[in-house]
Structure formats: structure tokens, C-alpha cells
Amino acid sequence: MNQERPVASKVRKRFNEEFKRSVVDHWRHSDKSVVEVAKDFGISPWNLRDWARQYRPSAKPIDAPLPKTPEEMTRVTMHRDILKKTMGILSES
């Protein structure tokens, strides 16, 4: 007696860019966790994380002006060096 079980098929939901951006914006401006916001909007937490990465604000525009004072240059150089050291440590793990 070989009984066939029905194959469950998942329907993939499609969301437009406006919806994605509004959910990410809501999450960024609320005190809720990723899971809570995802549940509120009926999406997967993984979707929300992906969208947040996709629509994150850029740190600086590419054509950002160079530091104007030696103090600014020192600070920027120090930040860069810290980031380089951190990346080196993380890549060793």
C-alpha cells in the first residue's frame, strides 16, 4: 500500500520596493526587534534583514570633500587604521 502524500508548495510573495523601504524604515525608527517587526508585517525576519542591508543609508557620498583641517585628517586616518586592524583580526578567525 503505497499512499502518495500531497506535495506542499510554497507561494512566494512578491513585495514592491515602496513596501520594503517602509518596513525597513519602520524597523529603524521603532524599538522593536527584527522578529517583532517581521511578524507585524507578515514577512520573514531574513527578508527584513536583507532589505535593511539593501536599503541602508550610505555612510558618505563618493564625492565627499576631504577633511579641511589637520585635526580632521588625523581623526579620519585613525578611524581608517582602526577599521583596517579590526578587519585583519576578524579575517584571522
User: What domains can be seen in the chain, in order of their start residue?
Assistant: 17-58+67-92 (1.10.10)
What whole-number distance in Å separates Cα of residue 52 and Cα of residue 50? 5
Residues 21, 35 contacting (CB under 8 angstroms): no
CB atoms inside a 10 Å sphere around CB 43: 17
pLDDT digits (tens, 9 = 90+) for 24-77: 999 989 889 999 999 999 999 999 999 999 988 765 556 667 778 889 889 888
CB atoms inside a 10 Å sphere around CB 30: 11
Q: Is the pTM here over 0.75, yes or no?
A: no
**Is pLDDT of 90 > 90?**
no
Sign of CA dihedral 53, 78, 68, 63: negative
What whole-number distance in Å separates Cα of residue 24 and Cα of residue 53? 9
